[in-house]
Amino acid sequence: MTPPTNRSLFERAQRVIPGGVNSPVRAFRSVGGTPYFVARAQGAHVWDVEGRRYVDYVQSYGASILGHAHPRVVEAVRRAAGEGTTFGAPTEREVLLAEELCRRVAGLEMVRLTSSGTEAAMSAVRVARGATGRPTVVKFAGGYHGHSDALLAAGGSGVADQGLSASAGVTPGAVADTVVAPYNRVPEIGDDVAVVMVEPVAANMGLVPPAPGFLQGLRQACDRTGALLCFDEVITGFRLGPGGASQRLGVRPDLWCFGKVIGGGLPLGAFGGRRDVMEQLAPLGPVYQAGTLSGNPLATAAGLAVLAELDDVAYTMLDGRATELGTMLAAVLADADLPAQVPRVGPLLLQLPPTLAADRPRLADTLDRFPASTRVAVEFRHPSWFDDDTLSLLAARNVALVLADRRSRPLGLVERTADWGYVRFHEGRARPWPCYGDQALGRWAERLAARWRPGDDVFAFFNNDPRGCAVRDACRFATLAQRQGLRPTRVPASGEVTIS
């Protein structure tokens, strides 16, 4: 029998699993190529089915904080499995894990275990609405809180009252009570707001620490209006320190969501908070929440084994290693003259493509080279470059915007034709890029609608590539832009969209 390969397994998977994967990011659509299929893992490494070994910087997106197949975790799971895998009845380890979570996190008085972070966030919203009697949820652009309908709203500051969803299949009614605000800005909190849901350190749009006073401002705004503040610590919980982000950052919410680390690599989530709020849950109160596999005995065994290893010494080591790795990565990237950022918040570390945060002064200087009468287009390649300050800078100069180029060209190239100035801000090797999804295109469209003044020129250009994505992207962007009140005037075959 021929051993399976990554390609053969992916081809088989695509016949029986949508996209060949059970979570979209695993399909490699954004980076190209064939996904590797993992055969086994140990410590910092994974091996695919072809025997190739990888240094694993993913670590199940943060769930494997001790590395893969840690011997004490494996032994705890093996011992628990020998006693039975699920009972539909309470177990001692559920109590022990809940006690350990409450012991570590100041203000966490009661906890309900779930099977995932998505389930925890969804349930936290429900109990907040039940406890307050209010309908509205406030979340922040770029924050991810699982795939429940109400938390997939993709509105921005310009369309917050429209409740636009980021996924097909989510009805307008499902997100009608969801308001999306810009991260790191304290929004107006009305008396209809049940809960403000926030990642205390945003880790799903790159890695963005909270601005000074942001979390404190949210706490004060919620206190003034009676809304509840919920920290989604599925990523930061028990990774930033023994008590998670709330301990490290000094702000105490009313509710928390946890996941990843607390399951030790097995499916486990949790939500919890103040006793008076959590006592609204059935069977004590009127808010229903349940789960057949909640508090699964294998997951609680793994979670307890992991938390037993995470003391102050462990966090000091994690922090130090992240600092060292971040410094080394930044140095290597600088030596290679590659524009990139390596943000770090404690043990959280991420290597990112370049953003204009660091290059904004150079962009402003470049724009100043052109006479005021010159119409200027600026081209970017990555959505993370669209921060509000950069958009404000461009809008102030009536600059046109080139949203994407699929073939990188030299950094800082400036071309001038007639009364147009043209600036490219990116660098890298030439290669085709995959089609952009409606979520990214819609985000660009909504941010343009929020920032551009009537009459400003907005020029969107999607350069052609061998896969022919440019025209598709241009047409979709034109449609989404029109929904935002922008007026697309033409979509020629080259993939250009001119909006006036």
Active site residue 57: no
Please provide residue 327's backbone torsions phi and psi, each rounded to the nearest 5 degrees.
-65, -45
The crossing angle, in degrees rounded to 10, of helices 71-81 and 297-309 is 150
By the 8 A CB rule, do 125 and 195 touch?
yes
- CA atoms lying within 13 Å on the CB side of residue 84: 8
Task: For tokens 């969501």, name the residue.
Answer: 257
Active site residue 139: no
Q: In terms of Cα–Cα distance, which of 157, 153, 143, 154 is closest to 448?
A: 157
The residue annotated as part of the active site, out of 36, 56, 139, 144, is: 144
The residue annotated as part of the active site, out of 48, 177, 232, 359, is: 232
Q: In terms of Cα–Cα distance, which of 199, 202, 195, 158 is closest to 178?
A: 195
Active site residue 144: yes
By the 8 A CB rule, do 376 and 270 touch?
no
Residue 227 CA, chain-centre distance (Å), reads 24
- Tokens found for residue 320: 């130090």
- Tokens found for residue 142: 């770029």
Distance (Å, whole) CA 127 – CA 112: 11
- Tokens found for residue 347: 């043990």
The residue annotated as part of the active site, out of 36, 183, 260, 315, is: 260
Active site residues: 144, 232, 260
